Structure 1
Amino acid sequence: MSSKSSSLYRYGLLLFAALMLRQNEVAASPNGAPTSSCNSMTPGHGQTSSTACPFQTILDKTEMFSNDTLKVTLQRPGGTTAVFKGFLIMGFDKAKNNTVIGTFNISSTDQDSRTLDCGQYDNAATHKNDNQKSNITIDYWFPPEGFNGDVEFKATFIVDRDSEYWVKVPSRTSIKIIASEPIPTTPTTDPSNTQPPFPDIYAECGKTKGCIATPEDCVGTNNCSMMTTFKKLDNDHLELEIYGEITGDQQYVAVGFSTDSEMGSDSVTECVQYLSTVKAYQSYNSPDHNNKRLPSNIEGFEDTGSPLFVDGYIYCSVKHPIVFTSNNQNFDLNQPHYILMATGSAGKDNIERHSKEEKSGVSIDLADDLNISYFKDSRVLKQLHGSFMVIAWLMAASTGLLMPRYMKKTWVGKQFMKKDLWFVYHRGLMVLAWTLTVAGFIIIFVDVGGWVSESVSENPHPLIGCITTVLAFIQPFMALMRPGPNAPKRYIFNWAHMLVGYSAHILASNDYLTCIFLAVEMEEAELPYETYWILTAHICCYVGAHIILTIFARRSITVPDVLKADAPRDETGSLTRKIILICFICIVVGLGSTVIAFIAGA
C-alpha cells in the first residue's frame, strides 16, 4: 500500500474511532434525555443560551389535594413562533432542597412524550422524538400519597441538537399540595367508614384453589410480589383473585390468558387503582400487542369481593366465565392456557405498557388445576444472544481488527498451515465473531418468534442489529474474492474489506450502546446501569490501542533497522506491539466477561 493510501487509511480509521466515541451523544438525544442527565438536567450537546427562555411551563391549578392529579403544559407564549425539539421536566419539593418528587403518567398513544426514571419510577418526563414542538401537554402528574407542601416544576428546553438550550426553567407558578384525609385505621361506629380486612390470598393454595405467583417459593413465606389464584365455582364460572405490589395511585396488576405464551390475542382482567379507587376491568390484547379496555365487561363477569389497596398491595376478586367471547374472539378456559401477569401505570380508560411482566412456563388447566406454581420465563435464549454478541464484538472482532493493521510485520517467518501467523489469528478471530453473530441472530429470532414490529425511534436495536449481521455475514465472502498481494486493483479490495468490517464493528458497538442506554429502562435487557461504564471503558481502550499502535507504527517507519539479516525478521518495535496486544486482550476479555456476568444474572 502506498504512503498516500496508508495516510488515508489511518485518517479514515481515526475518523471511525471519533464516531465511536460520539455514540453516547448521538444515540441519546432523538429518543429523549438519558438518565445520566437527571441530576444536572443538562443535555450533552449544544450550548446554554444567554437570552431569556421563550418557552414556559403552565400548571392547570395552583392548589390541590394529594390524591388529585395535575395537568402540565410546556408551551411557547402566544404571538411567538419559537419551537423546541427536546425537553426534560421534573417536579421538586421546595421544602427539601428541591428533591424530585411525584409521578408522571403519559398515555401510550402520546407520540411526543415519555416518562423517565430519575432515581424513582416515572418521576420525570422527556421527549420521545426530535420533531419540532410548540405545545406539549402531559395529562397527569400526581404527588406522593399523603404529601403536604409546595412543588415547583423545572424544565429544560432544547431548540435543536447543535443549537442553544435553557436549563431548569421554573414553572410560572408553583402548586400547593394539601395532604388528603387518610383512610381510618381504627374501627368506627359507622360501618361504611371501616376499611375492609385484607383477605388471606395464600390460604387454601394447593388445596381448594390453584395459585401461580412470583418470586419462586413465595407462597410458603406469604411474600409474593404478584399472584393469581383460580377456583372453579360451577360448570360455567371461575373465581379469580388478582394480587400484586404497586407503587401508588394510577397503577395496575393484570392477568391475561393466552394460547401461545406470548402477548397478543389475549383476554385480560385488570385490577386497577385510579384516583384512590380500585376496580376490576376487562380488556383485550390485540395481535399487535396493544391493549384495549372493553366498553363493557363480558357477560358473566362480576366482582365477588371488595377491591382493595393496602400497604402497597392491590387486590381484586372476580367471578369469571369459563367460556366467553372477548373482542369477537372465543375463549374456552376448559382448555389449558398460559397465564400472563403484568404491572404498570394506568390511565383513566386504559392500562399502559407494563413495567414488569411474567408468564407461566407451561399451559395451565384453570378449571381443574389445584397446584401451586411459579412464573418461570426462561431467559436462556436471550442470555445466549447477549453473551454471543459480547464475545463476538467486544472480544473477538475488537482483537481481530487490530491484526491486519498493526501485526503484519510481527511473527515474521512464522506460519501455520502455510499462512502467516498474524493472518491465522485474524481469520480465526473473525470467523469466531462471524459464527457467534449469525448464531446470536438466529437465536433471538427463535426466542421472540420472528420480527417484532416496533417503532425504530423507540427501539433501534433490532434494525441496527440486522444491518450489523448483514455486514458481518458478507465479510468472509468478500475475503474469498481477495486478489493477490501484487494485483493492480488490490487497494480496492483493501478499502472495501476495511470499510465493511469497521462499519459492522461500529454498528455492533452502537447496537450494544443503544441496548444499554435504553436497556436501563427496557425490561427485555435487564442490565444494570453500570454496564454503560463498562462499554465506555471498552471504547476508550479500543480507540486508545489504535492510537498507541499507530504512533509506534509511524516511529518504526522512521527508524531504519541497523542490523540486516538474510533471514526474515520482525519489524522494529514488535515486542512492544505484542505487549500492547496482550494488555488489550486482557482488558477486553475482562470487560466482556463482566458484561456476560451481568447478562447471566439478569
Structure 2
Amino acid sequence: MTIRRYTLPPLLLLCFTVVTRVVCSPDGAPTRACATMTPFHGGGIPPQPGLSPYSVVARRRGGKVHVSVGSALGVPIAGIMMQARTPAGEVLGAFEAVDPDHAHTINCVQRSDTVTHNSPEEKDHIDVDWTPPRGYEGPVVFNATIAQAYDTFWVGQSSPVLQYTSNGQDDLLPDRPFRPPSLQPTTYTPFFNRVQQQTAFTEFDSFYNGCGSTKLCFGFPEGCVQSKGCTAAVAVTVIGDRYDYELKVDRSDAIWVAVALSEDTKMGDDSVMSCVKTNRGVDAYMEWTYPGYRVERIRNAQHQIELLNSSVINGQIYCRIRRNAVTVVNGKTFDQLRDTYNLLVAAGTDLKPNSVGYHTIGKAASAEKRSLADVSAVSGASKILVRLHGSFMLAAWIGTASIGILLARYYRQTWVGTTMMGKDLWFAWHRVLMVLTWLLTMAAFVLIFVELKAWSAERNPHAILGTITTILCFFQPIGAYFRPHPGTSKRPIFNWAHWFAGNAAHIVGIVAIFFAVKLSKAELPDFFDYIMVAYVVVHAITHLLLSLLNCISDKSSESRVSSFPMKDIGLGRNSGYLDRSLDAPFSPLRRLILGVYIVLVGALLLALIIITALAPIEDTWTNLRTSMKSNN
C-alpha cells in the first residue's frame, strides 16, 4: 500500500495552524441558519473558498453512526453546525452529543436533527452519535459548517457517503481518522430556494408538524397547539395498530411529563404513560392514578410500552413512546382500537419514590372522549368552576368585605338621620355587603369541591386558609342574628367576638389569595402579587387616615368617637358623641376618603377578576396576537 504525502504551501499551512481567537456564536448556531448552514457573522462575512483543514468522518457503531469532526493538522474548532442528509438533501435522523460540554442539538426540520457547539472555546474535535429514522436504510451524508474563528469558517464540509443498513457490521476504522485537506469532499446543497433561505426559523418546532392532519395533538395552555407554544403537550400518531405517543414539556425545571387515558376529565382509575428525566437521559413508565391525586407506578412498568426516542435539550424533555393497541392495566382493559378516551396531560418538577409527583407545572384534560385516530382539533375541559371560585373569593374579600368592615369601623357617626330599610345608613350597607360576602364565599367554597371532588393535593396552605376563612364567615351572620340587645351585659362579649371573627376572616382570606398565585390550577401570573400588594397598601393607608381623623376628632370635641371600635367596642351604640343628632367632625372628608377607596379598590378588583377569569392571561394574549397575525 503506497502512502502519499500531502504538502501545503507554507502560507496556507500557517493560516490553518495559527488560530485567531475571535468569539463565534456563543451558544451555537441559531435555527435561522438551518436552511443555508451559513453563519451571519459580521453582517455577512463570506465563507472560506479554499480547502478546509477539517474532515468529517462517520462510521457505524452498535446500530448508530458515530461522527467525528476534527483536523489532521491539529487545527482547533471554534464552532460547528452539522446535519445528516440524504444525497438529495433531505434532513433526517437525530443527533446526540457524546460530550454535552462541547455540543448540543437543535430542531430544524425534526427534533434534534442538527447539532451545534455550546461555546466558542477551542476544541480539538467534536464527537456525536446519530440515530437514523425508524426503518430507514440507505445512503446518508453528514454536512457541516465548521468555524476556526469568527471570520474564518467553511460551509458544506461533507463526509463520504455512508450506506446505512439495519443489519450492517460495525466499521473497524480507528477513532477520529481525520484526513488531509486535499481529500475533503465539499459537495453541499441548501435545502430551500433562495427566497426561503432568507426566512427566519426561530419559531419553528417540528413537534407540531402534522397536528390536525396526521396526528392528534393536545396540550396546555388552551389554544397552544394552534400557536405552537405549549408548555406541555402530547401528540398521538396512529398507523394501523401502532399507537405512538410523543410527549414534550418546554420548561427547564421540568422533571417529568405524562399523558393519561381516562374515562372522564378527572384523575382516578386512569392509565398513565410518563417520561421522566434521569441522570442517563429519559426513562418511560406505565403508572396508575387513584382518586385524590394519588399515582403509583405499576409492576413491570415498561412491559407494555416501548421508548422509541427521547432527548433532554436545555432541560426540556421530549420522548416518543409506542404502546400496544390493547393493554390490560390494573385489571382494566384499554382498547385503543375500539374505545374512546379523554386525554389528560400533566407535567411537574418533582418525583415521589415510585411515581411522578404533583403536576406543579400544570395539567389539562380534553373536553370529551374521542378515538385516538381522530386527528381533528382537541379542546380542553372547561375550567369555569375554578375561574368562578377565584372570582367569587376576590369579589368577597377584596370587594364587599373590605368596604363593609370599613363602614362598621369608621362611619357609625356619618350620614346621621339618613336611614335605609329603617336602619342607619352605615348599618344597612354594612349588612348588605356582609350578606354578599357570605353568599359569594359559600358559593365559591361549594364550586371548588364540585370541581376537585377531593381535597387539594398541592403542597400549598391555600386550601387550609380558605377553609378557615369560610368557617369564620359561615358563623358570622348566625352570631349577628342572635346578638344581645345594646346595653345588656353580654353585648360587649358579642361585640368583641364579632369584631375578632370578622377581621380574622378578612386577614386570613387575603393571605389565602396571596398563596393562590402559586397554585398550578390557578395559572395566575407572578404580577398578580403586585396588584394584591397595591390593594393592601390602599387598604392600610385608608385605615391609617381614618384612624388619624378619629384621633383629631377626639381632641377637638373632647369626647369619644363611637365609630372607633377599639375604644368603644364594649359600650354599645349609645356611646360616643354627646349629640348623636349630628355627624362626627370631618364627616365630609371621611366620605371623600370612602369614595376614593371604593374607586381604587374597585379598579384593582376588576383587574384581579379579569386576570383570574382569563388565566393564563399571558398565554391568552399571546394566542390572541398569533391568531390576529394569522388572520391578517
> Normalised by the shorter chain, which TM-score bucket?
0.5 to 0.7
Shift of 1:415: 0.9
Shift of 1:421: 0.8
Match of 1:323 among 321, 326, 343: 326
Match of 2:393 among 379, 389, 393: 389
Match of 1:542 among 520, 528, 539: 539
Q: Name the counterpart of 1:58.
A: none
After the TM superposition, which residues 571-590 of structure 1 pair with which residues of structure 2 at under 5 Å, given as runs? 571-590=584-603
Shift of 1:219: 5.7
Q: State the distance in 1 between where 2:532 and 2:276 align.
A: 39
**2:397 alignment partner, SS class:** helix
2:292 aligned with 1:337, yes or no? no
Aligned residue type for 1:444: I
Q: Name the counterpart of 1:353.
A: 358
Q: Name the counterpart of 1:600.
A: 613
After the TM superposition, which residues 90-169 of structure 1 pair with which residues of structure 2 at under 5 Å, given as runs? 146=101
Q: Deviations over 1:474-516 (max 9, x none)?
A: 1111111122223333222211211111111111122112324
Normalising by structure 1, report the TM-score. 0.60
Q: Name the counterpart of 2:552.
A: 555
Shift of 1:308: 4.8
**2:243 alignment partner, SS class:** strand
Match of 1:301 among 302, 305, 315: 305
Aligned residue type for 1:146: D
Q: Name the counterpart of 1:411.
A: 415
Contact residue 410 and residue 546 of structure 2 kept, 8 A: yes
Shift of 1:391: 1.2
2:275 aligned with 1:271, yes or no? yes
Q: Name the counterpart of 1:258.
A: 262
Q: State the distance in 1 between where 2:495 and 2:503 align.
A: 12
Q: Name the counterpart of 2:485.
A: 484
Shift of 1:343: 3.0
Distance 1:523 1:226, change over 3 A: closer
Shift of 1:545: 2.2
2:478 aligned with 1:523, yes or no? no
Contact residue 248 and residue 316 of structure 2 kept, 8 A: yes
Contact residue 252 and residue 314 of structure 2 kept, 8 A: no
Contact residue 253 and residue 342 of structure 1 kept, 8 A: yes
Contact residue 400 and residue 430 of structure 1 kept, 8 A: yes
Structure 1, unmatched stretches of 5+, are 1-143, 149-176
Match of 1:448 among 445, 452, 455: 452
Distance 1:291 1:566, change over 3 A: closer
Match of 1:568 among 581, 590, 596: 581
Q: Name the counterpart of 1:21.
A: none
Aligned length: 414
2:398 aligned with 1:398, yes or no? no
Contact residue 298 and residue 324 of structure 1 kept, 8 A: no
**1:358 alignment partner, SS class:** strand
**1:255 alignment partner, SS class:** strand
Aligned residue type for 1:591: L
Q: State the distance in 2 between where 1:528 and 1:255 align.
A: 25
Normalising by structure 2, report the TM-score. 0.58
Q: Name the counterpart of 2:50.
A: none
Contact residue 246 and residue 252 of structure 1 kept, 8 A: no
Q: State the distance in 2 between where 1:473 and 1:545 align.
A: 27
Contact residue 392 and residue 444 of structure 2 kept, 8 A: yes
Shift of 1:203: 5.7
Q: Give the RMSD, CA atoms, in angstroms.
A: 3.8
Larger Rg: 2
Contact residue 299 and residue 321 of structure 1 kept, 8 A: no
Aligned residue type for 2:442: V
Q: Name the counterpart of 2:218.
A: 212
Shift of 1:364: 1.7
Shift of 1:257: 0.8
| Greater Cα shift, 570-579 or 280-289 | 280-289
Contact residue 248 and residue 319 of structure 2 kept, 8 A: no
Aligned residue type for 2:505: A
Q: State the distance in 2 between where 1:346 and 1:569 align.
A: 64
Percent of counterpart pairs with the same letter? 33
Q: Deviations over 1:312-346 (max 9, x none)?
A: 87554443234322244443443322111123447
Q: State the distance in 2 between where 1:498 and 1:572 align.
A: 24
Match of 2:604 among 577, 591, 594: 591
Structure 2, unmatched stretches of 5+, are 1-98, 104-120, 131-141, 144-158, 165-169, 172-203, 560-576, 616-632
